[in-house]
Chains A and B, each alone.
Chain A
Amino acid sequence: MIEGARWRRWVFFNLPLALFVLGLLFPFYWMMVTTVRPDAELYRPWMAPNYTPFWTLHPTLDHIRYLLDETLFSRWMLNTFFISVAATAISLFCGLLAGYALSRLKFPFAGSLGTGIFITYLVPQTLLFIPLADIIRNFRLGDTPWALILTYPTFLIPFCTWLLMGYFKAIPRELEECARIDGATRWQAMVYIVFPVAVPGILSAGIFAFTLSWNEFIYALVFLSSPEQKTVSVGITSELVRGDVFYWGSLMAGALLGSVPVALIYSFFVEYYVAGITGSVKG
């Protein structure tokens, strides 16, 4: 609802919104243009008269070809995918059980346990990576995907737990009580009655966990060392930047392709994603 003359709508609404969208999306457009731009056009100084920043005259797939043929990119994608799926599965499993216990059951120290889990959510990875690297080495997990699959849940579980607690609280207790009167055990009431109702919450927690795992960087950087074990972010950083030389075309191609899985998942489930942020903020 915007009152007043038409120009007011332009000045106070259309123009600012257009600038926001342009500013927020431009880097992605830049990624795409760079990916298909041949080196001859890519390395043309911005002062040069024939600098055409926003389009390319001779699009090429060379950079993508280099990325797929000459680097371990597809391997990194598989690694990242496997790690993200496994870490998400573990986190959802733990988060579901813990979220149910904290929102539904009465037991000593329930409140302080909930607070404790909340606090661990706020411990950033950059605080722990040095001692954790030592522990990972001692457990002989260094340079294996398990180093990440087991450590990512530490920041995913608290998140899933808190998000799901909100969902569980909204489910009426009577549902469960009816099942219990009909002879269901606590376990059965939880798995067959409460969990199915919480599916939207499980989905949004899962999407969040997956995108957060795909995004993680410092643990992957510190715990993995051999090229064939790396995740996308780390692989690109270490293999397409050699000293001062940046393989910009392939680097942008890698950034683009590495973003596709999260962007796809996100576009399918955007409503759950937004609902997830909304829930976690309000809760």
Chain B
Amino acid sequence: MAVDSVAAARPYVAAPRRGPITRVLEHEPWFAFFLLLPTAVLLGLFIAYPFIKGVLLAVTDAKVGVPGNFVGLQNFAVLMNDSIFRIAVWNTILYTAVTTVFKLALGLWLALLLNRHFRAKALTRAFVLLPFIIPTVLSTFAWKWMFDPTFSVINWTLFHLGIIRTRINWLGDPGLALISVMIVNVWRGVPFYAISLLAGLQTISPELAEAAAIDGARPWQRFRYITWPLLLPVTMVVVLFSVIQTFADFQLVYVLTGGGPANATQLFATYAYQIGVGTGLLGEGAAISLAMFPVLLVVVVVQLLYIRRVETH
């Protein structure tokens, strides 16, 4: 008892003893350096280094097991005249543009629906996110099976609704394959848009819309002049992020069509895989992957500028 009260009465003077490591860690920049070290090592080793290596590979004629010689920009020149590459570029642009429009429109619609009050709202929200959670390859196989020309449940449904009269070969018809792939991409992407935009909607005060309603604004006007402008910052971030993901998409097409039929669904990533891994032409494959980079860079820069502008406001 007595000892305790003495210890408690003694004023606290010096910091506890500290070793040299602790002393270094007390210096703010050094502390930051050590905290960032593991991240820097991993990102350097498995992102920065492969990126440089990719640039170096792209200017050689390396094949699997063969180091290859420096050939300058020859791989890129070959790609310029490669009709399949041009198809892949066009497909990728079309794929990204069309699916983004649909994902945004449907996602926004779903977000507006989910923003209302109704019973089982939390449950609905949880279920609606499933396509985004379940591994893409696994859910894509379900779609491939649903698209099967002979056993297609989609054909059965459309036929019995009186929409189609003959069977549709969704993935085997060059004119339809890209559309089919886009449908699956939209299906997978809508939940992400919906939940993100719902998050944005919930930050908008409902009083604004109520005030406008009292002033006589119709629902469409309230959306156009109040909700949409306030939602725009979130929308920008979601769209730019999704554009990058879609532009570099691989899994969906790999499972559904493998780039076929007759390259009708060939994208940057599937063509790079086909050339780089399938055919073993590492240099050319790396060049195809790298050709994506300028487009992605533009999107990233736009995003960074936009975020900075929003932050300074």
Shortest CB distance B22–A (Å):
5
Residues facing B in A224-256 (CB within 8 A) are 232-233, 236-237, 246, 248, 251-252, 254-256
Q: Mark A176-195, 1 if CB is under 8 A from B, else 0.
A: 00000001011100000000
Chain A residues within 8 Å of B137, by CB: 215, 217, 233, 236-237
Q: How far is the CA of A21 from the CA of B35 in the complex (A)?
A: 44
Given contacts A45-B151, A101-B36, A185-B26, contact A28 B130 (CB under 8 A): yes
Shortest CB distance A14–B (Å):
9
Q: Does A198 contact B (CB under 8 A)?
A: no
Given contacts A24-B130, A46-B151, A270-B126, contact A185 B135 (CB under 8 A): no
Q: Does A60 contact B (CB under 8 A)?
A: no
Chain A residues within 8 Å of B268, by CB: 126
One of B124, B237, B277, B300 near A21 (C-beta < 8 A): B124
> Which residue from chain B places its CB closest to the CB of A161 in the assembled complex?
B39
Q: How far is the CA of A218 from the CA of B276 in the complex (A)?
A: 13
Which one of B3-11, B78-86, B173-181, B192-200 is at the interface? Answer: B192-200
Interface size class of A (residues with CB under 8 A): 35 or more
Q: How far is the CA of A122 from the CA of B245 in the complex (A)?
A: 8
Shortest CB distance B246–A (Å):
10
> Is there an interface contact between B33 and A107, defined as CB atoms closer than 8 Å?
yes
Given contacts A24-B191, A266-B133, contact A131 B153 (CB under 8 A): no
Chain B residues within 8 Å of A108, by CB: 29
* Candidate in A21, A31, A128, A236 with the most chain B CB atoms within 10 angstroms: A128
Q: Does B110 contact A (CB under 8 A)?
A: yes
Shortest CB distance A127–B (Å):
5
> Is there an interface contact between A127 and B234, defined as CB atoms closer than 8 Å?
no
> Is there an interface contact between A24 and B42, defined as CB atoms closer than 8 Å?
no
Shortest CB distance B58–A (Å):
9
> Is there an interface contact between B196 and A277, defined as CB atoms closer than 8 Å?
yes
Interface size class of B (residues with CB under 8 A): 35 or more
Shortest CB distance A85–B (Å):
16
* Candidate in B151, B234, B285 with the most chain A CB atoms within 10 angstroms: B151
Q: Mark B238-252, 1 if CB is under 8 A from A, else 0.
A: 100100110111110
Chain B residues within 8 Å of A185, by CB: 18, 22, 25-26
> Which residue from chain B places its CB closest to the CB of A132 in the assembled complex?
B50
> Which residue from chain B places its CB closest to the CB of A133 in the assembled complex?
B277
Chain A residues within 8 Å of B167, by CB: 46-47
> Is there an interface contact between B42 and A122, defined as CB atoms closer than 8 Å?
no
One of B47, B190, B255, B289 near A24 (C-beta < 8 A): B190
B-side interface mostly: helix
> Which residue from chain B places its CB closest to the CB of A260 in the assembled complex?
B134
> Is there an interface contact between B28 and A34, defined as CB atoms closer than 8 Å?
no
Q: How far is the CA of A232 from the CA of B15 in the complex (A)?
A: 54
Q: Does B169 contact A (CB under 8 A)?
A: no
Chain B residues within 8 Å of A25, by CB: 127, 130
Shortest CB distance B274–A (Å):
12
Shortest CB distance A191–B (Å):
11
Given contacts A123-B47, A127-B293, A251-B141, contact A277 B199 (CB under 8 A): yes
Shortest CB distance A136–B (Å):
9
> Is there an interface contact between A130 and B54, defined as CB atoms closer than 8 Å?
yes
Residues facing B in A5-47 (CB within 8 A) are 13, 16-17, 20-21, 23-25, 27-28, 30-31, 34, 42-47
Chain A residues within 8 Å of B146, by CB: 27, 30
Given contacts A16-B113, A217-B136, A277-B199, contact A151 B35 (CB under 8 A): no
Q: How far is the CA of A214 from the CA of B292 in the complex (A)?
A: 25
- A–B pairs, 6, beta carbons within 8 Å: A2-B116, A42-B151, A43-B151, A46-B150, A186-B31, A263-B130
